[in-house]
Structure 1
Amino acid sequence: MDKLELLNIIKNGENSHEELMRPFQANGSIHFDISPIHNTSIRDLNLDIIREYFLKYNTFDLYEEEKSNVERILINADILKEIDGKAMCSVGGLLIFGKSVENVMSQNGISFAHFRGDEITDELIDKKIICGRLQDIAEQTLVVLKNNMKNPSIIKELKRKEEEEYPILVLREAIINALVHRNYSILGSKIRIFMFDNRIEFHSPGKLPNTVTIEKMKIGVSYARNPFLVKYMENMRYIDQLGRGVPMILKTMKDLGAREPLLQESGEEFVLTVYKE
């Protein structure tokens, strides 16, 4: 982004920290997930969960460290960011290790709605807001989707076999992709998941980064908008391999004979639509 574009943003009133960072984030010159969150501190982090993470993936005990060293370790891990000698939570640090994330970041979380029919104007069957740390949101959202699915059964070789409307693996990948790759600098907008009779839509705030196209996504070429989130969620085995999610979703649904999932940009959102088998 050149000086003229920056001046236009300021002139148009888009002068919040998040809005000013958005163009730089889009072209990959800055990553919002390691930005500091003002008025936060180490007290906003759940040190027990951080300790468990380091014990499992870095094989050392955070609680055996001197208190003076703990903050420095978290700064080096980008969980905290040091600004003018003061340590604040990073966006990613709070999203994965925070105590009450929704109290600090209102845009965090997923808004779920289930409609009886194929249109958003049809009868609302279920509605939920799911908040917390990213890994907890992922697990809880999958449970909500499973609870809202019909599980028809068929008789095969004298045995009853339960069949799900949507493969759990596909739903899991769609949820994780939305959580990890959304644009967290867009305030006031949660991820939205709409379930209809014939499809599920995953609405993720933020346009695709400049270097990514839908056609590239289909063949596994991707760009990590939030590399901190990708790294930590990958370490915790929520992500198998960067770029693998979308091709896996497409292949799985194709193998089932379902309509090809639709990937599209709609306004300031990226939308993935998965159709029923």
Structure 2
Amino acid sequence: METEELLAIIARDEDSRHQFKADVNNASSLGAEMVAFSNSAGGLILIGVKNDDGSRSGLTRDDIGRINQIVANAATNNVRPPINPVTENILLPDGLVIVVHIEQGISKPYMDTQGFVWVKNGSDKRRVTAREELQRMFQEAALIHADEIPVGGSSVTDIDQEFFDAFFEREYGERVEDQDVSRVQLLENMNLAKKGQLNICGTLLFASRPQMRLPIFIVKAVAFPGVDIEDEHYLDSQDINGKLSDVFQKVLGFVLANIRHVQNEQGINSVGEPEIPRIVLEELIANALIHRDYFVSAPIKVLVFADRIEIVSPGHLPNNLTIENIKMGNSNIRNPILASFAPKVLPYRGLGSGIKRAIRAYPDIEFIDDRAGNAFKAIIKRAQ
């Protein structure tokens, strides 16, 4: 780092990527700061800069050796798993400053020696205590997936037996009753249950009434006459629930019923083709149902306006995946069990091809990765 760059950072004061310390003497306290940076977007700790006014405390060469040893000890012994920060010693007119570079971690969540998880909160740090936030951090590290979480109070009796048996015979060419294991064991072998309880995937796909156990995992669909959300005036509104396959068909039907259909070259008595190609709606609805974040207690929202359709999924894009990535067909499977079953129950092909296929059929689609609001939005523009 150049001296001018360092002075510019100091002049701008602390923020979520930069923290100042006049000195450090405690590896445990420094370790907690390193944990917060590692669990967030990474950043710099400037040692030798006072955090109250940005003045330099004037570190000496003796200080440098002592502090670098504390930094090494903190990174190795006070951060779990350990990290590897990079340090720079920069000479300013009034003394030395140590710049500690901490990268965003790839093994989140990081913890201190007490097992506490910290994240950056503006220029300070915040201890994570909310279960959903911790679960999402474990999810980012691929240590846990929402679709495999057991559903409290559920059991094999929640399964729509006729529906499941027909699915099993269609996919595997054998009858359930001809298997050498019980139905409970069969569901566990298929990663749909554990210890007699259905997981989220098994419940959403095969339970007779999934929302009895998972009431928040519905789709709220509303059609408005204009271009803004109105509390009192709407054309159509539905809370859509049921098995995932039923939800898909109901949502698709809702959208198709609330957009225009064009005759094109069809006969005058025909229903006509929807103004937005059906494959676009299929791909984006399936994408929302399969790839939403099921750690977030919120419904999917499908909003039909006069000039656009918005499909809003709980959960921003996982890890470092970007909109540019998904447009190129890249994917990061958030719900692997659900994604493995999806092609068997929905018009879903997986492999990250859905977004590409939708854009190819109808380029006028905007995607918004709302990390602050923890949501992903697909906006399909309508011709007016």
Q: Tell me the TM-score normalized by structure 2.
A: 0.64
Structure 1 residue 115 displacement after superposition: 0.8
Partner of 1:3: 111
Aligned partner of 1:129 among 232, 235, 239:
239
Matches within 5 A, 1:256-267: 260-266=364-370, 267=373
Q: Distance in 2 between matches of 1:237 and 1:204?
A: 18
Matches within 5 A, 1:1-277: 1-4=109-112, 6-8=116-118, 11-14=127-130, 16=131, 18-65=132-179, 69-82=182-195, 87-121=196-230, 123-154=233-264, 156=265, 159-160=267-268, 162-187=272-297, 189-254=298-363, 260-266=364-370, 267-277=373-383
| Count of residues in Structure 1 that have an aligned counterpart in Structure 2 | 262
Contact 2:304 2:310 (8 Å CA) reproduced = yes
Contact 2:245 2:346 (8 Å CA) reproduced = no
Question: Partner letter of residue 146 of structure 1?
Answer: L
Contact 1:107 1:186 (8 Å CA) reproduced = no
Q: Distance in 2 between matches of 1:166 and 1:148?
A: 11
Contact 1:183 1:206 (8 Å CA) reproduced = yes
Q: Which has the larger radius of gyration?
A: 2
Q: Return the structure number with greater helix share.
A: 1
Question: Partner letter of residue 276 of structure 1?
Answer: R
Q: Distance in 2 between matches of 1:71 and 1:6?
A: 38
Question: Partner letter of residue 98 of structure 1?
Answer: A
Question: Partner letter of residue 261 of structure 1?
Answer: I
Structure 1 residue 121 displacement after superposition: 3.2
Question: Partner letter of residue 200 of structure 2?
Answer: V
Question: Partner letter of residue 57 of structure 1?
Answer: E
Contact 2:315 2:376 (8 Å CA) reproduced = yes
Question: Partner letter of residue 274 of structure 1?
Answer: I
CA RMSD of aligned residues (A): 2.1
Question: Partner letter of residue 148 of structure 1?
Answer: N
Structure 1 residue 45 displacement after superposition: 1.4
Q: Distance in 2 between matches of 1:236 and 1:13?
A: 37
Q: Distance in 2 between matches of 1:19 and 1:100?
A: 28
1:12-49 deviations in Å (ceiling 9; x for gaps): 541x3x44311111232321101111221111111222
The percentage of counterpart residues that share the same residue type is: 26
Q: Distance in 2 between matches of 1:39 and 1:235?
A: 27
Specify whether residues 108 and 237 from structure 1 end up closer, same or farther in structure 2 by C-alpha distance, changes over 3 A only.
closer
Q: Secondary structure at the match of 1:118?
A: coil
Structure 1 residue 141 displacement after superposition: 0.9
Q: Distance in 1 between matches of 2:183 and 2:262?
A: 52
Q: Tell me the TM-score normalized by structure 1.
A: 0.87
Q: Secondary structure at the match of 1:124?
A: coil
1:98-153 deviations in Å (ceiling 9; x for gaps): 11111111221210011111111383111111001111000111111111112243
Q: Distance in 1 between matches of 2:343 and 2:362?
A: 24
